[in-house]
Amino acid sequence: MTKSLTLEQVAAYHRDGAVWPIDALTAEEVARYRGQLEAFEKAEGVSLGKHPRKLRGKTHLVFPWMAELVRHPRILDAVEDVLGPDIVLFHLTTWIKEPGDGNFVPWHQDGVYFHLFPYQHVTAWVALSPSNEQTGCVRILPGSHRLGPQSHEDKPSPTNLLSNGQTLAMPVETKGAKPMVLKPGQISLHHTHVFHASDPNTGNDRRIGVGISYIPAHVMHTSPVRMTGTLVRGEDRYHHLEPEPRPNPADPAAALAFHAEAMGRFFNSHQTHAH
Ligand SMILES: O=C(O)CCC(=O)C(=O)O
C-alpha cells in the first residue's frame, strides 16, 4: 500500500532513477514560501544562492518556513513510497538560476560525493517557480542509476552551480535525456546515482528549486566526522547523525551558529562535496 505514488510511479522510479511530476504544494504555499525567500533576499540585498554565509545549503536550519517545507506531508508521503517510513534529511540545497545569468549544472551523480552507505538516498526537488526547458529544469538520463558510482572530475567555473564543478568523467550520450518539467508546487524524486544536469535559464522568471536529500535512518555517512541530520518522519533507531535543532524564530543567532557548524562539517568531512 503506497501513501502518494501509484505503483506505476514507484516502478518508474526504480526503472528510470526518477519520477515526476508529483503534486505537492498548494498555490498558496508556493506563494508564501517564495515570498519569504524573496523578502529575505530583498532585506539582505543578495540572492540566497550567493549569500556569503552559504545559506543556500542546509537552509532548513536557518528559516522556520524552510523547516516547515522539509516536513511537508505530501513531500514525505512520496519519499516514504521509495525509502520507507523512517526518513532523515541529510542535506538541502536551494538552487537558484536568474534569467540570463548563465548558471548551469554539469552531468553528475549525487551519490559519489555524499559518502553515504548503503547508496539509498533520494532527492526531492521542489519547484517554487516554473522549472521547464526555458528556465533550465533538471534533466536526467533514465536508467543511468543502474550503472552505479562513476568517476567524476572537478571542473569549477563561476557559472557552475556545483561547489567544485564535479562533472562525470565519461562522455554522456544526452540524446535520451528527459527534462523533468515541473510547475510551481510540483516535485520530482531522483535517485542518488542517476546522471543529471541542467542548462542556463533562458526564460523570463527565476528558476527556484529546493533539493532536499532524504535517506532512510539506517543509512550511514562514511566520514570520521559526525555529520548532522534531521529526523523528519518515523523513528531513528540508529543515531548515525547528530540531530539538528529546528530554527527558533526567537533566536536567529543560534540558528545561524548551528548552520555554520553543520555546513563546516559537511564540507570538511571529505575533500569534495557536490553541493
Ligand atoms: O537544480 C539543478 O539544476 C540541479 C539540481 C541537482 O543537481 C540536484 O538536486 O541534485
Q: At residue 84, does pLDDT exceed 70? A: yes
Distance from residue 157's CA to the centre of ligand 1 (Å): 16
Angle at alpha carbon of residue 204, lines to 101 and 158, rounded to 5°: 10
Q: CA 198: distance to chain centroid? A: 14
Q: What is the pLDDT of residue 164?
A: 87
Q: Ligand 1 pocket: which of 103, 123, 159 to mutate (most atoms <8 Å of CB)?
A: 123
- The DSSP output letter for 146 is G
**275 pLDDT exceeds 70?**
no
Length of the chain: 275
Tell me the domains of the chain and their CATH numbers: 7-268 (2.60.120.620)
Q: What are the E-state strand segments in the chain?
A: 18-23, 87-97, 105-108, 116-117, 122-127, 138-140, 152-154, 166-168, 178-179, 186-191, 196-198, 207-216, 220-221, 228-233, 242-243
Say if CB 186 and CB 83 are below 8 A apart: no
Question: Ligand 1, closest atom to CA 108?
Answer: 7
Quick one: which H or E segment has residue 264?
helix 252-268
Pocket test for ligand 1, best of 90, 98, 198, 273 (most atoms within 8 A of CB): 198
**Predicted confidence (pLDDT) per residue in 196-236, tens digit:** 999 999 999 999 999 999 999 999 999 888 999 999 999 99
Beta strands 228-233 and 242-243 are parallel
- Residue 232, all three cell numbers: 523528519
Lining ligand 1 with CB less than 6 A are 95, 105, 110, 123, 125, 138, 196, 198, 209, 211
Closest alpha carbon to 121 in 209, 6, 255, 240: 240
Going by C-beta distance under 8 Å and a sequence separation of 6 or more, which residues neighbour residue 102? 159, 200
pTM of the predicted model over 0.95: yes
Closest-CA residue, ligand 1 atom 1, reads 95
- pLDDT tens digits, one per residue of 113-162: 899 999 999 999 999 999 999 999 999 999 999 999 999 999 999 999 99
Give the Å distance between the CA of 251 and the centre of ligand 1. Answer: 31
Helical axes 73-83 vs 7-16, angle rounded to 10°: 60
Strand partners, 242: 228
